[in-house]
């Protein structure tokens, strides 16, 4: 990461710290983390809403800055990690990079309902680079339009979400809503990993990402849904293609894929979902291969005595046509004490057939691989609405015999990082 890209990250987070609006003093309400905030899509606490139109446990704490101006309510949230990554073994590598994200949200009453606006941006095309960062066993997308990314995690696009929603109440506990994003997130899978309390502190992406939540950046996503108190049913038409290697632009929208999701939050502590999607040619380098994706997940969150604990259990299945049926399992948890000490971990098991390029005898051979992460973060006292922390992460990879000669036997990797969060 050079000085220019590092400066861009710093400016991005500093601008968040100075977040304000020009208005008359009588119209302004001071920041208050306990102020009541209603969801964009229904008459419940905003803490239930996660990425796109997905739900998380309502007990999940909300971060960021919240401001009111006339009838508008605004929220800004962001983070930046500076990471040294060392992946061991024959296919390992090391790199210094930054992962980062800035998210803004606005809502106001409009007519009989509520208008919501969302944006999410990242500088990762500059701070990570087009080839992504080293991550053993990761697959998906491309850096150059010709070769697949293998054992590397792709950077996210500059524009991760630019979306609008409108919801209309049916009665005191029910509503109907519409959502459109370019890019946006269709109704498919659990909340994406960088929006889950159980996963947001982990600086690396899950190797199950393309089985569970990879559609969180879709260049064209339109969703209609109905909410009945703690139950939600929704359907989407969207662009099933993964983002291409051009990370700075907005791609032309198309609606060639569809999905449906049922969500149920039986209590404030639980969020359950099941979803199915038909993705038309998701991988740029295999345009003739369609994918039927099925996901089921359960999230649990508990808060007590300045402690927060969340765990997520998820299963995803990609049925490729032509191709094979591949399963993935994820279990991740995070525990925070006094907003100072955070322990996090993730266990994954996934069937992969993309670990070798075309021409290799093992190309499209299925390998069942597993990975275990454990990490810790220490956060310093909040300063000027920013939280600064330092942490580390260790990973161990469990491989079948057919991969040991390519990766080494049970490779071990680590990351050390510094983080600032709004």
Measured distance CA(110)–CA(269) in Å, rounded: 31
In this structure, what token pair is assigned to residue 154?
């792709």
Which structural domain, as residue segments, surrounds residue 187?
Answer: 3-421
* CATH number for the domain that contains residue 247: 2.40.160.10
pLDDT number for residue 11: 35
pTM: 0.90
- What is the spatial distance between Cα 339 and Cα 316, in angstroms, rounded to a whole number? 32
- HSE, side-chain direction, 13 A CA sphere, residue 37: 28
Are 346 and 372 contacting, i.e. CB atoms less than 8 angstroms apart? yes
Query: Which residues, in sequence order, are CB contacts of 227 under 8 Å at separation 6+?
Result: 41, 42, 167, 174, 175, 176, 177
Could you give the number of structural domains in the chain?
A: 1
CB 177 within 8 A of CB 225: yes
> How would you label 226-263 residue by residue, b for 16+ Cβ within 10 Å and e otherwise?
ebeebebebebbbbbbbbebebeeebebebebbbbbeb
Which two tokens mark 264?
């149920």
pLDDT in tens, the chain (422 residues): 444 444 333 334 333 333 332 333 333 333 334 445 789 999 999 999 999 999 999 999 988 888 999 999 999 999 999 999 999 999 999 999 999 999 999 999 999 999 999 999 999 999 999 999 999 999 999 999 999 999 999 999 999 999 999 999 999 999 999 999 999 999 999 999 999 999 999 999 999 999 999 999 999 999 999 999 999 999 999 999 999 999 999 999 999 999 999 999 999 999 999 999 999 999 999 999 999 999 999 999 999 999 999 999 999 999 999 999 999 999 999 999 998 999 999 999 999 999 999 899 999 999 999 999 999 999 999 888 899 999 999 999 999 989 999 998 899 999 999 999 98
Check if the beta carbon of residue 418 is closer than 8 Å to that of residue 80. no
Residue 124: name the closest of 150, 144, 146, 153 by CA: 153
Query: In whole angstroms, what is the distance from residue 156 CA to residue 248 CA?
Result: 9
CA–CA separation, 323 vs 409, rounded Å?
29
Nearest to 107 by CA among 191, 183, 28, 41: 41
Which three-class secondary structure state does DSSP give residue 11? helix
Tokens for 41?
């899509």
In whole angstroms, give the CA distance from residue 116 to residue 41: 8
Q: Which residues contact 152 (CB under 8 A, 6 or more apart)?
A: 93, 131, 132, 133, 134, 135, 138, 143
A 10 A CB-CB count for 144 gives: 10
Radius of gyration of the chain (CA): 21
Tokens found for residue 115: 């208008």
Q: What's the number of CA atoms in the CB half-sphere (13 Å) around residue 252?
A: 2
Contact 42, 50 (CB under 8 A): no
* DSSP H or E run through 127: helix 124-127
Beta bridge partner(s), residue 392: 376, 416
Contact 52, 236 (CB under 8 A): no
């Amino acid at each position: 990461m050079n000085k220019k890209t590092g400066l861009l990250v710093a400016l991005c987070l500093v601008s968040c710290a100075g977040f304000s609006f020009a208005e008359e003093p009588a119209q302004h309400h001071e920041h208050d983390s306990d102020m009541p905030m209603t969801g964009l899509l229904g008459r419940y606490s905003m803490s239930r809403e996660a990425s796109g139109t997905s739900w998380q446990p309502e007990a999940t704490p909300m971060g960021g800055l919240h401001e009111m101006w006339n009838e508008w309510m605004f929220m800004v949230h962001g983070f930046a990690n500076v990471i040294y990554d060392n992946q061991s073994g024959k296919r390992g590598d090391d790199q210094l990079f930054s992962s980062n994200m800035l998210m803004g949200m606005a809502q106001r009453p409009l007519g009989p309902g509520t208008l919501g606006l969302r944006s999410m941006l990242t500088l990762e095309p500059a701070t990570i680079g087009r080839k992504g960062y080293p991550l053993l066993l990761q697959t998906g997308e491309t850096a150059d339009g010709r070769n697949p990314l293998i054992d590397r995690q792709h950077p996210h696009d500059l524009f991760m979400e630019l979306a609008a929603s409108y919801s209309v109440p049916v009665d005191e506990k029910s509503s109907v809503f519409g959502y459109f994003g370019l890019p946006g997130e269709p109704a498919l899978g659990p909340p994406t990993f960088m929006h889950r309390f159980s996963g947001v502190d982990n600086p690396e992406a899950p190797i199950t990402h393309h089985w569970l939540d990879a559609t969180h950046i879709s260049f064209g996503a339109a969703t209609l849904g109905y909410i009945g108190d703690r139950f939600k049913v929704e359907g989407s038409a969207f662009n099933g293609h993964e983002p291409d290697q051009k990370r700075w632009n907005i791609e032309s929208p198309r609606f060639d894929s569809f999905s449906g999701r049922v969500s149920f939050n039986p209590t404030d502590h639980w969020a359950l979902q099941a979803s199915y999607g038909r993705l038309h040619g998701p991988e740029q380098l295999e345009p003739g291969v369609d994918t039927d994706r099925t996901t089921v997940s359960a999230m649990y969150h508990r808060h007590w005595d300045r402690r927060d604990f969340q765990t997520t259990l998820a299963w995803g299945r990609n049925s490729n046509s032509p191709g094979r049926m591949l399963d993935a399992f994820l279990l991740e948890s995070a525990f925070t004490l006094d907003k100072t000490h955070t322990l996090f971990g993730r266990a994954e098991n996934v069937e992969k057939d993309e670990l070798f390029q075309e021409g290799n005898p093992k190309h499209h051979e299925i390998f069942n691989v597993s990975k275990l992460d454990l990490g810790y973060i220490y956060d310093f006292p909040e300063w000027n609405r920013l939280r600064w922390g330092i942490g580390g992460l260790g990973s161990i990879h469990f491989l079948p015999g057919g991969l040991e000669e390519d990766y080494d036997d049970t490779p071990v990797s680590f990351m050390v990082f510094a983080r600032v969060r709004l």
